[in-house]
Amino acid sequence: MGTLANIFRILYLIEQLANKVGEDMLTSGNNGMFALGLAKKLQDEGILVKVKLTFKNHDDIHEVSDLARVDTAIYHVAIEYDDKQYDASGETRLSKILELTDSQYGDFKPSSFSDVDPADSDVQSIIRNKTKWTKDAAWFYSQLQQIR
């Protein structure tokens, strides 16, 4: 599949899953697990994506693995493909993420790591231990498996 077809596939899967389970299920504490489940589904289809982690800035965070040991909040997780970010709303922008971190957390200057491998064990551990998920990545993946 070409890049445009892949983008359409990403948007289609997000929209169909939101219709199936409700968009609220894909947001808040679940957005990280949703991103991991979606990344796995896309990988199965030959579409390689990365994740972007947005978090409360902290002087001791210099690389992704630092998020596991430093007490900081994970605000948002999105998948990245072709220099664009995607979450439950479809394609999202930095301004929307900044609006979210400002309105929900009072933080207009969060930090982030981009181009992160969703299969990385540190990333999976960070999302599992530092977000308030109610459904895990395997559940999202199984729901996505039912979408053709």
pLDDT at 28: 85
Extract the tokens encoding 3.
């890049």
Residue 133: is its pLDDT beyond 70?
A: yes
For 91-122, the pLDDT digits (tens) are 999 999 999 999 999 999 999 999 999 999 99
The SS3 assignment for 59 reads coil
Extract the tokens encoding 61.
């965070």
Mean pLDDT within 33-45: 98
For 10-33, the pLDDT digits (tens) are 999 999 999 999 999 998 889 999
Burial of 24 (0-12, 13-18, 19+ CB in 10 A): exposed
Name residue 130's amino acid.
K
Question: Is the pTM above the cut of 0.85?
Answer: yes
CA angle 79, 69, 117 (to 5 degrees): 25
